Structure 1
């Protein structure tokens, strides 16, 4: 009986210690109408999660951030922040950063030093641009949410975020997407809706997003979808309402994702009467460069395993080449661009 009493007492003590340790690791100062951060009651080096959301903070002291050496999650959404401290670059273990619902016009360049960052949420701010080179360093980023801002473009380095799975850039002023988009081989969700009159076209490289499951391009000014989208065999959700689409026609788009894919696959294969010589040239270069196997190319829309069109099961994997140095060789600018200096006939 005494042994059982000691054992239960030991277990209780261990649970209390674990609870105290967890309490020390998480500091919750949310929804307290704070204008400034109070002096923290604990050693900042022990904190792994800091929640200062839903307050009235206009700034975060540099000295506070610099001492949060083990911070993994920083939640500062719904404040009045006009800038982030430069010392945020000291947070080498930071994985989740939520600064949505503030007044930010830019992000500090040294956010690139947060190399462990996996999720960045900066929705509902006043961002006009993101750091140009952030994609070269934030290669572990899996989710980038920058919707409801004033972005005219995404950084050219975005295409180097090869771990990215979700990209949400709706409700901005985007005029185009980054070059070398096909490098985002893990991207599953892409939302670029509601850029309205600013976004008028999609790059051919969008058809090489081999993992794409959901695509939302609704409420833009897009009239023609690239034929390469016929290769998006994993696509399950596609929204295109609110665009002046003529190719494919809206009656095709409204049928199903499969109808859109079949229509565009037929155009790519040359079985559609409206296929232009430029698109034939594009597909020829694609086949010649070995992007698709010869078994996928036929005079008619291929049929394999009960599915029509080009099959991504035969797509040649580029795993192992997914690096900024090697992936540029797959750029559609190199594969698909017509010769600019060819004489006119």
Structure 2
């Protein structure tokens, strides 16, 4: 009875785009009416049998309860759910049937006791936001980056992650990646497919994270980078190429390069220092046949005072859209080793 009583006050009709419907619209429209159901903060230990058709729910809020599990049968029937919020419960696992939620766009499972996410979450291909903060996650599904192609925000801070799966680098629509307060030892080497990433936060991995991959300099949409409170001694010179970068947080690291006197002069000076390092190294090594740094300078990838005559361009003969290149089939297509290998590589 408690469920039914609450249901009357917290359920409301919306159209198929999630917009509230007026009573007269609701009476005239013969199409199935979707429901927003809010059962948050009711101290529920379990879910009673609902008095409504679960297929009509587009948003279900079960947050701030005492739930230890979600029935497989319940999740499997949420065929039209777009938003599922179960944050701040006592969940040890998520049901495998979550993979049936083909329309799910926002999933909030933060503040639980999850040690892993079900592999079936790869089937939620409409998912745009995944919030799994404040759990006990030790790893993420290995194929998460290959399958969740629409994911824009991935928040996994305050867990026990030792690494991010290599497939993470194929989330080409990702805008925000928050992996602070974990136990990360390293980041995936090939980050270059994260072409839309604007915010990257891997701060407070403390004694674990000792370096950043050179490919971080290929995140051309990056606006904010927070690597504070790790054990990083040197920033990759490639960071000097991030033209859109507006905020760089590095405090709490035993940095040697750039030196402290450079860091104190602000982001513009830091970027120029790193860029000068690349151009200087490219100038010294440009005569070496196998030096891709020299080729970077020749291609004009890095701006700086070094001028090298007879600029060359390396062209991939057949064009493919970025979405195709971000698929597993073309894994690593954008890595520096391949982009700047001898021209004969692309003419095979």
User: 1:329 maps to what in 2?
Assistant: 333
- Where structure 2 has 5 or more consecutive residues not aligned to the other structure, the ranges are 1-20, 309-319, 342-348
Residue aligning to 2:18: none
1:164 to 167, 171, 174: 174
Aligned-residue Cα RMSD (Å) equals 3.1
Deviation at residue 109 of structure 1 after TM alignment = 0.3
Question: Could you tell me how far 1:33 is from its partner in structure 2?
Answer: 0.2
Change (3 A) 1:78 1:296: same
| Richer in helix (by share) | 1
Q: Does 1:78 align with 2:83?
A: no
Q: Aligned pair in 2 of structure 1 residues 12, 139: CA closer, same or farther (>3 Å)? A: closer
- Mapped to 2, the partners of 1:24 and 1:162 lie a distance apart of 31
Q: Does 1:103 align with 2:113?
A: yes
In structure 2, what is the equivalent of residue 193 of structure 1?
A: 203
1:177–1:202: 8 Å Cα contact kept in structure 2?
Answer: yes
Q: CA deviation at 1:239?
A: 0.3
Deviations 1:14-70 (A, max 9, x none): 156499x99951111100000001111211000000000000000000000000000
2:278 maps to: 268
How far 1:260 moved relative to its partner? 1.0
Q: Distance in 2 between matches of 1:318 and 1:269?
A: 30
Gaps of 5+ in 1: 1-10, 302-316, 338-345
Q: How many residues align?
A: 307
Mapped contact 1:195–1:219 kept (Cα < 8 A): yes
Please report the TM-score for the alignment, with normalisation by the length of structure 1.
Answer: 0.81
Deviation of 1:89 (Å): 0.3
Question: Could you say which residue in structure 1 is the equivalent of 2:158?
Answer: 148
Post-superposition CA distance 1:66-88 (Å, at most 9, x none): 00000100000000000000000
Q: Give CA deviations for 1:204-230 in whole Å, capped at 9, x if unaligned.
A: 100000000000000000011111111
Give the TM-score, by structure 2 length.
0.80
Instruction: State whether residues 281 and 293 of structure 2, in contact with CA within 8 Å, keep that contact through their aligned partners in structure 1.
Output: no
| Residue among 103, 117, 122 paired with 2:127 | 117
Alignment of 1:309-320 (within 5 A): 319=322
SS at match of 1:106: coil
